[in-house]
Amino acid sequence: MAAEEKPYLTGRTYIFRMKKGEDLLAAIVDFCHDNQIKCGVINAIGAVQNATMGYYNQKKKKYDKHVLDEELEIASLMGNVSIMDNRPMVHAHITLSDDEGGIIGGHLMSGTKIFACEIFIQELVGNPKVRKKDKATKLPLWM
Ligand code: ZN
């Protein structure tokens, strides 16, 4: 931990079932906006009807999009909430498994439709992390 980092306190804790058919990322973002969650950690398990993930191409400095039109398990979703452009921003990665137990994963993008999903969101109270475009990576990173 960097010397200037201050510890966070745990705030509100949410655990709930997400609606079938909703866009997974958009639904998480909406929940955080509606509840003004500015900083926190997210995890979820469940299943999706299809998936859209990104892979950040470090040479091109842009996301390659990976669209999977198949029914998959959410073996794991991990993410966080912080602030970008004065609004809560969700950054999440997802690990998906297929009918043979094969695993694929990446940066969660909109275009991932929920079949069933149990989500846990832990708000953290303190100075929210703020994202700004990082020159070296061209990614919106925590300052
Ligand atoms: Zn990512």
pLDDT tens-place string over residues 83-109: 999 999 999 999 999 999 999 999 999
pLDDT of res. 6: 87
The Cα–Cα gap between 51 and 111 comes to 6
Which residues, other chains included, contact 63 with Cβ-Cβ below 8 Å and sequence gap of 6+?
Answer: 54, 55, 56, 57, 107, 109
Could you tell me the distance, in angstroms and rounded to a whole number, from the CA of residue 106 to the centre of ligand 1? 7
How many angstroms separate the alpha carbon of residue 62 from the centre of ligand 1? 11
Q: How confident is the model at residue 62 (pLDDT cuts 50, 70, 90)?
A: very high
- Walk across the sheet containing 40-48 and list its strands: 9-18, 114-125, 40-48, 72-84, 87-97, 103-108, 51-57, 62-68
The predicted-structure confidence for 10-49, as pLDDT tens digits, reads as follows 999 999 999 999 999 999 999 999 999 999 999 999 999 9
- Tell how far the Cα of 47 is from the centroid of ligand 1, in angstroms: 20
CB within 5 A of ion ligand 1: which residues?
107
Query: Is the pTM higher than 0.75?
Result: yes
Of 77, 65, 56, 53, residue with least CA distance to 134: 56
22 Cα–ligand 1 center, Å: 21
Domains of the chain, each with CATH number or no CATH? 16-126 (3.30.1330.80)
